[in-house]
Structures are given as structure tokens and as C-alpha cells.
């Protein structure tokens, strides 16, 4: 669906566009000013983007986020990016939500804190360092 929107085959309330990204209003506005940022190259998740492509998305999010702040003056701005069904991704094209936030706006983002012991956290960190050194 986003590929067709990027190609201009579907209508969209476009906010910003450059060579690599497109920002447009989310049809399901959580709060006024809710914008989606997509990379123009189809990639199902963030993990299929290159580092430069991911950076392009964040540059656009930063620029559009400043515009959201100026136009809507929300006391908060949430960036949400989900990858895969288990992470609640509902569209198979990498995208980033910019959601203006207000006190008592009904948006809830909760998860159970597991608070593992320090040795377990150190093991997690070691595993990630090892994965980073291989890439």
C-alpha cells in the first residue's frame, strides 16, 4: 500500500518529500498532527534498510517533528517504529510514526518490567557486543 502511495497511485496528504523519504498524514490520526515517515525504497522493516537509508528517515522525522511542534505545540512528541508482527507492525513497509502527545490523550504504551539481575544484563550486553563486532 505505501509503495502505491509513494508512486502517487493512492491519494495522501503529503507533508514533506525528498529523494529518499516521504512524510504524510496518518489516516488514523491518534492526535492532530500524526505523521508517518516512510523510506521510498520498499523494505519490510528497519532491518532491511541500509544505515544511510535509516538515517534519511530520521533526518526527515527530525525536520517534520520540528514542524509538528511549531504547528500544533504538543507538550510531547512520540516516535514509534515497529518491526514484525510480534512488534505490532501492521503494514509491511518500514515506517515511523510521529505522534503529538498530550496529557490524558488516551494513548497508552505499557509493557511489563522484568528487571533481570545485573549478571543477566551483563550477559545480554556481552551478546550484543559480540554481535556488533561480527557486523
* Residue whose C-alpha is closest to residue 50's, from 94, 12, 3: 94
Q: State yes or no: is 20 an active-site residue.
A: no
**pLDDT tens per residue, range 50-68:** 999 999 999 999 999 999 9
Helices (H), 42-87: 51-72
Give the confidence band of 110 by pLDDT, cuts at 50, 70, 90: confident
Q: Compute the average pLDDT of residues 107-116.
A: 91
* Residue whose C-alpha is closest to residue 81's, from 51, 135, 43, 45: 45
* Residue 135: pLDDT over 80: no
CA–CA dist 38, 86 (Å, integer) = 20
pLDDT recorded at residue 74:
98
Distance of CA 22 to the CA centre of its chain: 13
| Ranges 64-68, 109-113, 130-134, most confident | 64-68
Is this structure's pTM higher than 0.85?
yes
Q: Compute the average pLDDT of residues 64-80.
A: 98
- Which is catalytic among the residues 20, 95, 97, 102? 95
CA–CA dist 14, 108 (Å, integer) = 27
CA dist 20 → 51, 123, 130 (Å): 13, 38, 32
Residues 6+ apart with CB under 8 A from 115: none
Domains of the chain, start order:
2-107 (3.30.428.10)
* Residue 129: pLDDT over 70: yes
**Which cell is 41 given?**
525504497
Gyration radius from the chain CA atoms: 17
**pLDDT tens per residue, range 83-96:** 999 999 999 999 99
CA dist 102 → 1, 32, 91, 134 (Å): 30, 10, 26, 42
Amino acid at each position: 500500500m505505501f509503495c502505491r502511495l509513494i508512486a502517487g497511485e493512492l491519494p495522501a496528504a503529503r507533508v514533506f518529500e525528498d529523494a529518499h523519504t516521504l512524510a504524510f498524514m496518518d489516516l488514523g490520526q491518534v492526535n492532530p498532527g500524526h505523521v508517518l515517515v516512510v523510506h521510498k525504497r520498499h523494505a519490510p522493516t528497519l532491518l532491511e534498510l541500509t544505515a544511510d537509508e535509516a538515517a534519511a528517515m530520521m533526518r526527515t522525522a527530525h525536520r517534520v517533528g520540528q514542524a509538528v511542534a511549531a504547528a500544533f505545540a504538543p507538550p510531547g512528541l512520540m516516535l514509534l517504529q515497529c518491526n514484525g508482527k510480534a512488534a505490532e507492525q501492521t503494514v509491511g513497509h518500514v515506517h515511523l510514526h510521529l505522534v503529538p502527545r498530550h496529557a490524558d490523550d488516551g494513548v497508552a504504551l505499557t509493557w511489563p518490567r522484568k528487571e533481570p539481575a545485573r549478571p543477566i544484563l551483563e550477559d545480554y550486553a556481552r551478546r550484543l557486543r559480540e554481535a556488533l563486532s561480527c557486523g
